[in-house]
Amino acid sequence: MLLAGLRPYLILAALCLALYLPGLASVPALDRDESRFAVASREMLENGDFVTVRFQDELRAKKPVGIYWLQAASAWASGAENEIWAYRLPSVLGALIAVLLTYRFGAALVGAEAALLGAALLAASLLAEAEARQATTDAALLACAVAAQGALGRFYLTARGKGPAPGWGIFLAFWIAQAGGILIKGPIVPALSLLTALSLAVWDRRWRWLLTLRPLPGIALAILLVAPWAILVSLATRGQFLGRAASQDLLSKLMGAQEAHAGAPGYYLALITLTLWPAAGFALPGFVRAVTERARPGSRFLLAWIVPFWILIEIVPTKLPHYILPAYPALALLGGAAASHDALFGRRWARAYFVLAALIGLALAAANIEGPIRLGGGFAPASLVPAAAALVCGIAPLALVWRGRPRRAVWTAALAAVPLWAGLALGVAPRLDSLWLSARLAHSVPAGAPVAMVGDHEASLVFELGTHTILTDAIGAARFLAATPGAVAVVEEASEPPFRDALAATSRTPRQIAEVRGINYSRGHPARLDLWTLAPP
């Protein structure tokens, strides 16, 4: 019954919306990437320039323009340009599309029941949940990755005699997804598809099926979709945007650890139990099953999706947890396939792995209760809901798997994840006052006051106070206060002595109107921000 007609899509859509929407507006803008994306998108709306990406009028050549277009459109359509939730909606939509396409294309690879289970596991996983709630690139990129890989899988199955020849719709889906991936995050999706296709060609010793992708018209279509923006941004910045994107972002990540985000090979393997939780316990038996059944086209395709890409990002020196996300739909499908066939879950190693997943549930339950106590105003009764859900999400699948009911374990984990992630976003995160320095400080700034920031240039404060906020040093802030009636300066503790010295030269009396203490989580140390103005002359 669950697999009839539109029911699987409706079930997954309801699950995703229940997972991703609650609390979307409750958590303040995050540092640093989310706020940088949101500020740059808001600047597009303010200055009407939808070609060049800028942060505080400085060229931001970190990522292509795609995600900024989506965020700006979302903020404009919702009429909430100053609200962070409006910039998060494209990520919610991206994650939703990725989950639905995981089912749609996964049904051909592993069967409809397994694909439904796998899509539910992907939707509930920690990393997908985290990216769906942030105004960054990765959820939208995931949608492009699943569309591209799913279409590629259809071409591969046809070559192996397992399905009808894909029509123009699948051809367009593959190449439009490539272009969309390029516009959102550069070469990630093309690299993923290329690695998968070449691995399958070498593995099978068959190359001619690649021609069914119609590479010449396909590449021409992708170029046609990407080239107009690339030409316009090159003209507008005299080639600086693409040059900086290639040299300062892409090549710097490939050649060394960018922004101190280093990690040894094995980094993602070490994190998978947490980042794929609660799906990791199902994915490991699924991967082992796929290896043993690698002669099957569906299993072979999913292995080719996962392994080469995984090796590549383990080799790249710059590492962040979300880089592995494009491989997780394939792992989730393998987990769903294992659960739907009751495969391997009776093995001791598989059951032992679920014990580790249960321990993560215990840790998350403790963190939900302890977080408001340590970082907020004390114990929050609302934290009991996500804490209890974390226990269910960790322990119930363990009990069900040990009793030989992996299908029920999947749905229990996925449904328990709803009150866990929703309760965390609604009842716990907003109470972590020590983390939300920018939001707290913004409430102390007089309405409409011009603002300069000294020392702490975190992007969340720019989002909270507006793109007109000036980022400067101690001397510049003192001069700004002296020259601008009603202006205020946000000064980090370490910058206060030179700021006071600079103020003394103005012969004006400074007045502190607010002090905010907490933790700068992006830097990992305590912080104090003071709000200063000058008394009238």
Q: Find out whether the peptide bond into 32 is cis, omega within 30 degrees of 0.
A: yes
C-alpha 322/C-alpha 308 separation (Å) is 17
Q: What is the pLDDT of residue 203?
A: 96
C-alpha 132/C-alpha 425 separation (Å) is 12
- 50 has a pLDDT exceeding 70: yes
Q: Tally Cβ neighbours within 10 Å of residue 10.
A: 10
C-alpha 131/C-alpha 321 separation (Å) is 11
Q: Averaged over 312-330, what is the pLDDT? A: 94
Q: What is the pLDDT of residue 46?
A: 95
Counting residues of the chain whose pLDDT is more than 70, the rounded percentage is 96
Average model confidence (pLDDT) for the chain?
A: 92
Q: Averaged over 221-234, what is the pLDDT? A: 97
Counting residues of the chain whose pLDDT is more than 90, the rounded percentage is 77
C-alpha 51/C-alpha 192 separation (Å) is 27
Q: Which residues pair with 470 in a beta bridge?
A: 452
What pTM value is reported for the model?
Answer: 0.95
Q: Averaged over 79-108, what is the pLDDT? A: 97
- Predicted confidence band of residue 53 (pLDDT cuts 50, 70, 90): very high
Q: Averaged over 370-376, what is the pLDDT? A: 95
Q: Which of 56-60, 253-257, 421-425, 526-530 has the lowest mean pLDDT?
A: 253-257
Cβ contacts of 40 within 8 Å, gap of 6 or more: 53, 54, 55, 60, 68
Alpha carbon of residue 365 to chain centroid: 23
Q: What is the pLDDT of residue 32?
A: 85
Give all domains of the chain, ordered by start, each with its CATH number.
7-340 (no CATH), 360-433 (no CATH), 436-534 (3.40.190)
Q: What is the pLDDT of residue 250?
A: 63
Alpha carbon of residue 54 to chain centroid: 21
- What would the DSSP string read from start to end of 261-283? -B--TTHHHHHHHHHTTTSHHHH
C-alpha 302/C-alpha 200 separation (Å) is 10
- 246 has a pLDDT exceeding 80: no
Q: What is the pLDDT of residue 259?
A: 54
Per residue in 477-515, pLDDT (tens digit) is 999 999 998 899 999 988 889 998 888 887 778 889 999
- 256 has a pLDDT exceeding 80: no
Q: Which residues pair with 512 in a beta bridge?
A: 532
C-alpha 444/C-alpha 148 separation (Å) is 48
Listed residue (336, 332, 311) closest to 323, CA to CA:
311
Q: Averaged over 510-529, what is the pLDDT? A: 88
Q: What values do phi and psi take at 150, rounded to 5?
A: -65, -45
